[in-house]
Structure 1
Amino acid sequence: NVAQIEDGIGDKIGMLARGVTVFIASAIIAFAFSWRITLVCIMDGPVSAITMAIMSRLSSPSMQAMMSVSGEAGAIAEEAVMNVKTVAACNGQRHMVKKYEQQLKKGMSYAIRYSFINGFCEGFMFFVLYLFYAAAFL
């Protein structure tokens, strides 16, 4: 049980500690040079975090559906490979390919929705980031 927890956490705690330390050190150094610019730039953090949370919440259902459909398509491919002699003997190659393609087409709409949501949210996040950078230099 402990091994599973360790595998799940892995080096994430170390990366989190490093990220927090770098952020705090950077903020201290930046405040020493120009506190006004630093305040404007730090305000981007909460906006980015909120955008990422919204992105995660909106794209999660599409990702789960996409993974489910992808798993079903993988099962079809595995079935064809495991029973390759039977499929070939019954001349079922085209049927298995058609079945696999139909399953992949089901997942395409989920993949497009997922990609659109992620692209839009990332674009918005970078727009806000550059907007704050521009405000810092005004």
Structure 2
Amino acid sequence: MTKPLDPEMFDPVCPTGLMPIRVGDKWAGMIVQCLEGGPRRFSELRIPLRTVTPKVLTQSLRSLERDGFVVRTVRAGPARYVQYELTSLGRSLLELLDSVHAWAELHMEEVIEAREAASRSDRAG
């Protein structure tokens, strides 16, 4: 049994949506991080990714599956359920995501300042 995902895994104050470097869509990197500890059911992923709509989470999971990063497995039986797991290709992203995370910790303020300056410029223009 895998350890439950931390509901606070992604700090709501952290501007993850502002990340200029992404693998896949806006949520893909976070999904990959959620799957690092082993297979997860959709409902488990919804805990730390609570701000993602079910529709968008489904679309992101399908994209990750299509690109070979995630495998979707349907468990048959009376308690039928679906789980998602990283493939070896998906696991190869973990080191990259760790590097991007470290980069973001060093430079996110600069990115935010640049975006705010561009936004002010757009309003003034």
Same fold (TM over 0.5): no
Higher relative contact order (CA 8 A, sep 6+): 1
Instruction: Please tell me whether Structure 1 or Structure 2 has the larger radius of gyration of its CA atoms.
Output: 1
TM-score normalized by the length of structure 1? 0.28
Structure in which a larger fraction of residues adopt helix: 1
TM-score normalized by the length of structure 2? 0.30
